[in-house]
Structure 1
Amino acid sequence: MPSLADHQRPASLHDTLEALQRASNTPAKQRSVKVSSLVDVICRHAFDVGLDHDALRTVVQIASVKTELDQTSVTTLIKNLYPAQRVPSDVVVTIVGALGQGKGKPSPGSQNAFVKWLATVHDIIEDPSVLSRLYGVLFGLLDSISIRTSLCHLLSLITLRKHVKPFRIEQLLQLARGPGNEPALQGLLRVYKDYYPDIILGSTSASRNSFPPAPDTEWRSRILAIQERAAAEQKPGFEQRNGFKVASIGRKRVKASVIPDVHTFHANEASVTLEGIDNVEDFVEKLERIEAPGQMVSFLTDPLLQKFVELSDSPIITQRIQLWLSTCLEDQYNAIKEDTVDSRYLSDILDGLLKHAQYTKKLLPIVQTFLKEYLRFWDDLQNLDTILNLLSYLPIHPFADTRVTFLQPLERCILPHGLQACERLIGFYTSLFHRWSNRATPRPSPSSSSLSHPDQRALHDLAAHVSTLSSSLLLSLPSCSSSTTIIVSTILTFYEQLSTISTPHHIPIILPSISLIYLLAMEPSTTTFARVAGIIANYRHAFTAHPLPIQKYYPENMTSSFNTALRDLYHLLWMSKALIAEPPKSVGLYCAPELSDALHTYLTQADREYNVRTAFNVSNNPLFASISLAAWVAIENEEIKKEGYDPDAITRHAGPVSQRKLEMLKAAGGVNIDWDAYRVRVLKWMEERGLAGPKEFMFAASNQLQAKFGGGDVKLTDW
């Protein structure tokens, strides 16, 4: 397998490994090289990019036998075994073979370090079953006192029900009853007792040392960084958990988990349990014979148990889940009312409920009931993201009911907490609308009104509410602030989804209010204007693709409102009629005639070539002026080169470009550029730099531009 380290390995690494191998067989006094310098080179390379399979094998082979190397060097090598890929199975076999008593075995300290390393990397081994197959060998080494503690920790992590045999229970009980009452043995015995509580009687003591220690944070972070880097270099990367194996999260160090691991109690040798499932074929073959685990609440977080619950369709299992959840959530509700809630416990429960919702794409009825009551007392935004994600899975219902039950209490909690909370609220509505649109039922009669079905009406009412909320936020926020920019971007994200999601007879075309369009279009941001223009273009394409006649499906005031916005932005950007109202077809962005006249007078006094009508076109718009100038310079240079003009002698235009000035430039001996061609080139210039909205808008709005420069058959018209 190719390795990240293959092409990044220093030229000296291979030679260094060979030199270390020779040094390991040479007495210290007879060596010609310094071992510590060799170890330093290897460890530094391992820390930087990890060890590929060959290098890892070499280092393990050197450290896994008794050699002439000093203990410090061997320990340093083992502590720096950072694999660049998953650990090969043969490396694991080599390490296990090095454990125990024997003339050629490494020192007890090296063996103990190797066992700790296996416990740390057990979840990134190429073949996860290799440790399971070596379980008997590892268990048989419990007599080795020097590695017993680390070995118990490793066995606690890999033990499955199939490993728990009567003879092992008996041997473990004998060891645990010996002098010393070793905590690690008690911890392993507790694992065994989880599988067979009726066989292992009595209580097992638990202390901090009973459980496997958490891996060194720095070491773990480094190995993850190395392997993520390697995964990015090689395709395919490391496979993720396939969802057909119980997701054991390990033994808890101090307190029991709110949501326990999957365990099947009272099992025997003939039992088929989820813990014994390793792959999808095994799961499908044994599905009807699998015994339900002891605590069904584990289904909240375990992918395999979730599949089992969904496929088994057992009333008993359903009742067990509902009973636990109802009792648990009722206890939490009472604790919230009495202000005695354990916040960490509640967070664990809510996170588990969210994982279940993300898997099933629905919210359990008991969870909806809890959230309805919980929102009445929720005022500190604790678990905000989890609550919003849970509510985004609410089933599609008449919007008025959902608003009163969930959304009004939610907004009452969130809105007073500042702009960041408001941004998350708009993001929540984006997710909710997306999920509602996926669940909406197509209209039974394709020829009926677009809002004749309750689901389509619910989508329309939800979008209308977001439009009102967005307008209110924009009008109440200070202009030109970073917080305002974030809110505007979140609102635009909602409408970018809304403008592209419509499907005839299923998801209706739903427009924002015309006033909101104008508020967004007048934001002092080039990116914002480009996104608004792109949204209007999306709506124009949606109407074009919709079955005709439009009036049959949508009310006339809706289409006329959209035409007004389309025409106003067209006048603003292209026709040099900015802020000029021509009722009823355009409203001039609601700019009062008195204000428009005053601006016109001011601008003409400042420069008689300048006026309010041309102040927003592609040449003069303050958002696009620098872009249009850069585009003009490129156009002029291209034309000069194409026609073979002398760059130093030809008359150049300093900008801003207008139709009249282009004619004057031609008469003065400058380049001959068409006014429309120049403006389209500016639009394409912006598109090439990530601002595609204005070009998409103009090509959607103008049949002439489509025919002359882009093709197509879209025109500005009334329906």
Structure 2
Amino acid sequence: MNVERLINEKLQHIAQNASVKEKDVKRNVKNQIVELVELVSENGLEVAQLAEVLNVIIIGKLDHVDIIKLVKILLPRANVPNFLIIKVLSNLGNKVLKYDVQALLLRWIIIVYNVIEDHSQLIKFYGVIFHYMEYNTLRPLLCHILYLMTRREHVKPYRIRKLIDLQTRFGPESHLLGLLTLYKDFFPNLVTIRIPPIKNAIFKCPDVAWFQLFNQIQRRWNYSINDTPTTRSSSFKQTAKRRKLDHVEIPKACTFNATRNSITLEEITNIELLASNIDKIDLPSQLASVLENRMLQHIVVCNPERVTIARISYWLEQCLMDLVYWNDNTAETKARLNSLLIKLVALTEFMKEMLPVIQEFLVKYIQTWDGIEHQEAIFKLLSFLRPEPFEQLLKKFFMPLQNLQEKLSPSWKARLIRCYTDLFTHWILFQENDFGDEIEKSENSFLNLSIDGDYSRTIQEFIHHVNRISITSLESTSDNLEVQHAIFSAFEAIANLQINYNWNRIIIPSSSIVYRAFFSTSGMSLSRICGIILQYKEAFDKSEKNPQQNGSHHSRSYINYFNSFVMDICNCLWRNRPFNKTDKNSKGFQLDDDIIRKLQEVYNEDWTSCYSLTHLPSFAAISKSCIQNLEESSPNIRKRLTLPATQFSLKEISAAGGLQISFNDYRVHFLNVLYNLGFVGIHDFLYQSLTSLSKLKNKT
């Protein structure tokens, strides 16, 4: 006899004899239940069988222990129809069912929530669920279900008042606080009471063993065809079949409710068909297939209906919660989570409609993230964050990341700064895409974005934050080159904002960042910081030329502070006046006078050229090689230069029959050599900052 027939026969016998009082019959029913539990634990139940078991439970004629056993075998092979969930919710408060049974049925809803056919139908029971929050036994589980169901539109003032009243009456129960925290995330102005911080996840899997058994049944029927019973109906094979890719089970895109006048996604084989039939396409029954179906992604992007996005979001939220909170932290679970996060990155790059659910996931995940697990995917997802008031971003994301930054390696610090650069770039693109051709017409387009808060202030505070973590990263890593260049990339992106967009407040890098780069042993670091300063100079010039159009409000002292960067670097590299404080705007690299005097004593008569273009450690070797190349290409050289190139050494060697070139001409030649080697920043900076150098170049 096959498994299906055995299950059906036992179910029928239990249903028919549940209310019989005779001892022999009751004993036989108990035996049938034991055998049924064994069968179903291995094979699960079809929809009709689930409905039959649920009816027997709700009638409540069996012994309490047997009812509990039957609840535990509500193990669906496929999706759970809405009518089964509605039947459970409709029987809350049923006096025939003991409260622990009702609570167990609510646990079942939480466990199968991910495979409920249409969550939108459950919203109609939001008020019913709230009504039974008075019951102590049911309240934790009802809070959990509400947490899964709730979206912004469900948070009403009267529901907030109800929750606050429950919290006042029953005390600070963790599940009530968790739901209030969710409500406060949506409407902080309505939830005015103080909510104590919650360190651990509240809404965890209510029964891990049960959930794992449910997953085994789902995997058996929806992934591995070889494990399915031979009696499974052909219609179920089609509707339930899924495939497992890269450790994550993604539903296959199948449409089961198509009409004669509609076209299914399975029939769309190219973009032309998609474009000509976009209004007729029926969406697949399992919208989670959007994770790997690019055609479906196109459809959702073209017609992003709220219900569609909500259904995809529900699936993603539950899948993420399953992997992060409901499973043991095993290697298999980590692999599945990483696979899902990678797919989520690809989806988000194409569908920005997924940003809210990603942001909600990251808010929770970042609080306990070790900075190592799933690093690449997490950093990528963080770069998609939508702009919010800076205080919210700081609390939710930037402070936890800063705490990690203080502990982890230089490479991690550099990766964080690169993530912030990507985030900043996405914000600029977000602004550009939202406004399109109207950007050029807007006097201050950053202020016009419809977000909760002042977008320009968010940008401004974010740049200051990047400035701060850049300084601490350089100090803690002894000016690690990878960290340096990550910082330079960040400020190049920031400078681009200030040059090419209508940004009314220029924010320059900290002096610590600029001066540390000057003393770096890497010539590329010095060249890049010079290039960045040149970009900022261009931004200031543009702002000063059209102050009314750009809304410029930079103080003269702030502009002079920036000009000190230009003056100090020029004094060292070209004018042979290192650390000068007497010229206009010169700050002497903000070194104390005592330190400058000690440097003068160390270098003695070589003081004026020790930090010049040809003597800096970052360029000295290149300068020596440049001199040697000039000598090799010059005929009749009787004596070669053995000292560093200076005005005096070149003059002496020229008189002795050596290289015939003046120091000024040599520096112009050396700058061109640096340019050809890729040191474009220092070349352009000096030529555009020094009028005398430009004239010298034209002369030569």
Q: What band does the TM-score fall into relative to the shorter chain? A: 0.5 to 0.7
- Counterpart for residue 16 of structure 2: none
User: Counterpart of 1:411 in structure 2: which amino acid?
Assistant: Q
Q: Does 1:682 align with 2:670?
A: yes
**The one of 656, 659, 683 aligned to 2:647:** 659
Which residue number in structure 2 is paired with residue 702 of structure 1? Answer: 690
Task: Report if the CA contact (8 A) 1:573-1:618 is conserved.
Answer: yes
The alignment covers a number of residue pairs equal to: 462
Kindly tell me: are residues 670 and 432 of structure 1, through their superposed partners in 2, closer, same or farther at Cα, counting changes over 3 Å?
same
User: Contact (CA 8 Å) 2:291, 2:344: kept in 1 or not?
Assistant: yes
The 10-residue stretch of structure 1 (256-265 or 300-309) with the greater mean CA deviation from structure 2: 256-265
Aligned partners of 1:342, 1:663: CA distance in 2, in Å?
A: 73
Deviation string 1:192-237 (CA, Å, 9 cap, x unpaired) is x9xxx99825769x9xxxx9xxxxxxxxxxxxxxxxxxxxxxxxxx
- Counterpart of 2:618 (choices 623, 636, 641) is 623
Instruction: Label 1:349 to 1:505 Cα distance change in 2 as closer, same or farther (>3 A).
Output: closer
Q: CA deviation at 1:661?
A: 3.3
Change in Cα spacing, 1:339 to 1:673, as seen in structure 2 (3 Å) is closer
Letter in 2 for 1:523: S
User: In the TM superposition, what whole-angstrom CA distance separates every residue of 1:618-641 from its partner, at most 9, and x where no partner exists?
Assistant: 232222222122223334555x45
What code does the residue aligned with 1:438 have? L
SS in 2 for 1:575: coil
TM-score by length of 2: 0.59
Partner of residue 512 from structure 2, selected from 486, 501, 515 = 515
Compared with structure 1, are the counterparts of its residues 603 and 298 closer, same or farther at alpha carbon in structure 2 (3 Å cutoff)? same
Aligned to 1:459: 459
Q: For residue 502 of structure 2, what is the amino acid of its counterpart? A: H
Secondary structure of the corresponding residue to residue 364 of structure 2: helix
**Conserved? CA contact 1:259–1:348, under 8 Å:** no
Letter aligned with residue 557 of structure 1: S
For the pair 1:495 / 2:495, whether they are aligned, the reply is no
Q: Give the superposition deviation at 1:267.
A: 5.2
Distance in 1 between residues matched to 2:543 and 2:683, nearest whole Å: 22
How far residue 277 of structure 1 moved from its aligned partner, in angstroms, is: 1.4
Alignment CA distance shift 1:199-1:283 (3 Å):
farther
Change (3 A) 1:341 1:688: closer
Partner AA of 2:526 in structure 1: F
Residue number among 290, 300, 303 corresponding to 2:294 in the alignment: 303
Deviation of 1:546 after TM superposition, in Å, equals 4.0
> Which residue is 1:539 aligned to?
536
**One-letter code of the match for 1:658?**
T
Unaligned 5+ segments in structure 2 are 1-220
Distance 1:412 1:446 in 2: 39
Deviation per residue, 1:67-99 (Å, 9 max, x gap): xxxxxxxxxxxxxxxxxxxxxxxxxxxxxxxxx
Do the aligned partners of residues 278 and 338 (structure 1) sit closer, same or farther apart at CA in structure 2, a change above 3 Å counting? closer
The aligned residue for residue 412 of structure 1 is 403
> Is 2:355–2:384's contact at 8 Å kept on the other side of the alignment?
no
1:352 aligns with 2:343: yes
Indicate if the aligned counterparts of 2:495 and 2:535 stay in contact, CA closer than 8 A. yes
Aligned counterpart, 2:266: 275
SS at match of 1:540: helix
Question: How big is the shift at 1:673?
Answer: 2.4
Evaluate the alpha carbon distance shift between residue 657 and residue 449 of structure 1 in structure 2; reply closer, same or farther with a 3 A threshold.
Answer: farther
Q: Is the 8 A contact 1:264 1:273 kept in 2?
A: yes
Tell me the residue number matched to 2:234. Answer: 200
Q: Which amino acid aligns with 2:615?
A: N
Shift of 1:360: 2.4
Q: Which amino acid aligns with 2:537?
A: R
- Deviation per CA, 1:303-346, whole angstroms, max 9, x where unpaired? 11111112134344234223333444454564279999933343
Q: Is residue 381 of structure 2 the alignment partner of residue 390 of structure 1?
A: yes
Distance 1:362 1:709, change over 3 A: farther
CA–CA distance in structure 1, aligned partners of residues 618 and 376 of structure 2: 35
User: Which residue of structure 2 lines up, in the alignment, with residue 527 of structure 1?
Assistant: 524
- More displaced, 586-595 or 492-501? 492-501
Give the partner amino acid of 2:524: T
Instruction: Provide closer, same or farther for how the CA distance between residues 705 and 477 of structure 1 changes in structure 2, counting only shifts above 3 A.
Output: same
Instruction: Pick the structure with more helix per residue.
Output: 2
Query: What corresponds to 2:183 in structure 1?
Result: none
Amino acid of the residue matched to residue 358 of structure 2?
Answer: V
Could you list the per-position Cα deviations for residues 651-707 of structure 1 after superposition, in whole angstroms to 9, with x for gaps in the alignment? 543332222333444444555423322101111111112222221110121122223
Q: Distance in 2 between matches of 1:198 and 1:319?
A: 32
Shift of 1:472: 0.8
Deviations 1:486-529 (A, max 9, x none): 22222222223333343355245431111211112212222211
**Identity over aligned pairs, percent:** 25
CA distance in 2, matches of 1:201, 1:445: 59
TM-score, normalised via structure 1 length: 0.57
> Closer, same or farther in 2 for the Cα pair 1:363/1:520, shift >3 Å?
farther
2:85 is aligned to: none
Unaligned ranges ≥5, structure 1: 1-185, 212-249, 642-646, 712-719
Question: Tell me, what secondary structure is at the counterpart of 1:417?
Answer: coil
- The residue type paired with residue 464 of structure 1 is H
